[in-house]
């Protein structure tokens, strides 16, 4: 088995076993870039239970997730195995209420009041 296959399998396994996964630079407790920090901040604030994957700790996963999603940047958010997007998309979805709708549709628990607070603060 090649390392590329191993990274792809690891990614597939992670997004299959966890309802919400954020591939990011750093960790949810200590993000290592502004974009990762913004998305982790939204998820943390909304009380979403998610798995963080630090792409800086594994170069194969760092490249592998870009190949897996055919998306060139990090962070990348997955909900119930579905690629949602990166920082700009997640930010737009949060502000428009689409992220709430996605979480509702997929049965992901989050604090709707906190989501409303984010929208109110950015109105």
Q: State the binding site for [2Fe-2S] cluster.
A: 33
Q: Binding site, residues?
A: 33
Collapsing DSSP to helix, strand or coil, 120 comes out as helix
Collapsing DSSP to helix, strand or coil, 53 comes out as strand
Tokens of 27: 């960790």
Q: Taking a C-beta distance cutoff of 8 angstroms, is the pair 39, 22 a contact?
A: yes
Residues with Cβ within 8 Å of residue 18, at least 6 apart in sequence:
50, 51
C-alpha 82: how far from chain center: 10
Could you give the count of Cα atoms lying within 13 Å of 79 in the half-sphere of its Cβ?
20
């Amino acid at each position: 088995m090649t390392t590329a296959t191993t990274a792809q399998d690891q990614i597939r396994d992670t997004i299959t076993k966890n309802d919400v996964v954020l591939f990011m630079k750093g960790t949810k407790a200590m993000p290592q870039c502004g974009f990762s920090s913004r998305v982790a901040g939204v998820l943390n604030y909304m009380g979403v239970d998610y798995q963080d994957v630090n792409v800086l700790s594994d170069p194969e996963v760092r490249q592998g997730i870009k190949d897996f999603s055919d998306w060139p940047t990090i962070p990348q958010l997955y909900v119930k195995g579905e690629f949602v997007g990166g920082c700009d998309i997640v930010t737009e979805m949060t502000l428009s209420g689409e992220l709430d709708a996605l979480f509702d549709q997929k049965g992901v628990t989050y604090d709707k009041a906190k989501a409303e607070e984010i929208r109110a603060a950015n109105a």
